[in-house]
Every structure is written in structure tokens, then in C-alpha cells.
Amino acid sequence: MRASFETVLILLMSTFDLGQPQVSHQRMDTPKVTILSALSYQYVDIVPALHVAAEESQKLYSRYFDINALAIYRKELYTCDSMDDASVDLISSNYYRRKRINELVVLLSPKWNIPVVSLLATPLTEDRPFPTFIASAPVSNIAIYSTVAGLLRRFSWHTVFLLCDTAAAVVFYRNLCAGFKLRLEPPEFAVFFSSFDSSSGYVDYDRHLANVATSSRG
């Protein structure tokens, strides 16, 4: 009996790195591609967009693929940090614990020959351990860094103050702030920074803004 493979393309909205091709006992003339996304906050806005993208892709490439979208999320997992911890369990639950008929399901990682696209997990851009990993622009925020640096150079602004939120719910902004610290280097730029945790209850924003004003005026 000849087995055929269902290739799964993973869109990672968190830092987990697991995908799977499925093996069935029915031959498929058209490969089936499932766009799988595991989401934390803003899932209400993101999930419909993924389904629309899958439908539009199906219209364009129906001769070559059977494309569909699958979103996995839990409403109580709101932050990226909590989603990161639970992502493996979410994927495993979906593929191993649901009922299946006459199917053999295998869960594989990016070190296998599976295309993986991520919007966040920067360490996975290392192509030696993860040769099939595709990093999009938001992963390293190169476009944002280049734009800001170009704007600073255009107007000869060389003093930069970074006011960074360290709350668990703002992983994207924490990463962005850390990236600016590395890329706006002396002697071209004099970089000052101050951090606060917006989830701590009370933040003395006046003090932080006063520090910004002092630095900007020497």
C-alpha cells in the first residue's frame, strides 16, 4: 500500500518550533497544505485574517495544493510569554489527542525537512541547526531599526533615549528595545535608556520623562 504525505506549513506566532507532516492510507493527487498558527493575544483579529489568506491562496494555487488554515489558541493564554510555555502542549493536544480514523500522525521539529516561518523566534534563524527555517522581517526588526537609524542620520540627531516597558505582556516591545541598544552604537549615537514595568500597578512616568528631558538637553 502506497502512503502519501500531507505537508504542513507552520506559521509561528510564538516561539515554539514544532510542526508535522501527516501520513494517511489514501493517495492524494493534490498535496494538502495546512497553515497552522498558535496565537496569544489579538487572536480575535488574527484568526479571521489567516482564514481569508488561506482562502485567497486556495483560489490562486488550487491546481497545485489544497490549502486550509487551522488556528490553535486558549483565551486564558494572553501573553507571548505564557503562550511560549504552553505552545508545545497545544500542538501536541491538537495532533495526538483528537480522534482520527485510519491515520498515522507524526510530529516533527524544524530540524526535519519541513518549511517553518516565524514572526518572532530570532534564535531559530541559525541556518545550521534549522536549515528549513524562514525568518521574516519582524523577527529581527531590521526594517524598523534601519528606518529609525536613517531618520536620525537625516536630521543629525545623535542623542537617543530609550524608554522601555519590561512587562510580560509586551514581549515584542522588549525585544525591539533590546535591538535598538545593540544597533545604535557609539560613537555615532549616544544612547540612554530607562525601563519600567507597566504591569506593576504604579509607574512614575513623570520621573522617566524628566530623565528623557535631561538627557536630550545635555
91-116: average pLDDT: 54
Q: Name the residue range of residue 65's domain.
A: 4-137
Same-domain status, 67 and 123: yes
Least confident range of 31-45, 131-145, 200-214: 131-145
Residues 171 and 84 in one domain: no
Please give the Cα distance from 27 to 180 (Å, whole number): 51
Tell me what pLDDT residue 187 has: 92
pLDDT reported for residue 29: 67
How many domains is the chain built from? 2
Mean per-residue pLDDT for 157-176? 84
Look at 178 and 19; give whichever has higher pLDDT.
Answer: 178
Residue 80's contacts (CB-CB under 8 Å, 6 or more residues apart) are 14, 15, 40, 41, 120, 169, 171, 172
Q: What's the rounded Cα separation, in Å, for the pair 90 and 71?
A: 11
Quote the pLDDT of residue 189.
92
For residue range 41-99, list pLDDT tens digits in order. 666 677 788 888 889 989 998 888 888 887 777 777 766 666 655 666 666 666 666 55
Q: CA 209 to CA 80: how far, in whole Å?
A: 28
154 in the same domain as 125: no
